[in-house]
Amino acid sequence: MIVLAYLIPISLLLGGIGLFAFIYTVRTDQYDDPEGDARRILSDEWDDQPKP
């Protein structure tokens, strides 16, 4: 059962990474324009370099 000592922390860590990623996306306004963001990827305007 010593395997639990590794697996439980690992599962918590992975879940935690997901949680913090979600909180990060909420904090940085990434859900303000879901429709626009889905469409923007179809435009090739900033394909070669990132938007300044």
47 binds other proteins (CB under 8 A): no
Q: How many residues bind other proteins (CB under 8 A)?
A: 23
Give strand ranges (E) for the chain: none
Among 2, 6, 10, 26, binds other proteins (CB under 8 A): 26
Angle of CA points 12, 15, 21, to nearest 5°: 135
Residues in the chain, total: 52
Residues engaged in binding other proteins (CB under 8 A): 1, 4, 8, 11-12, 15-16, 18-19, 22-23, 26-27, 32-36, 39-40, 42-43, 45
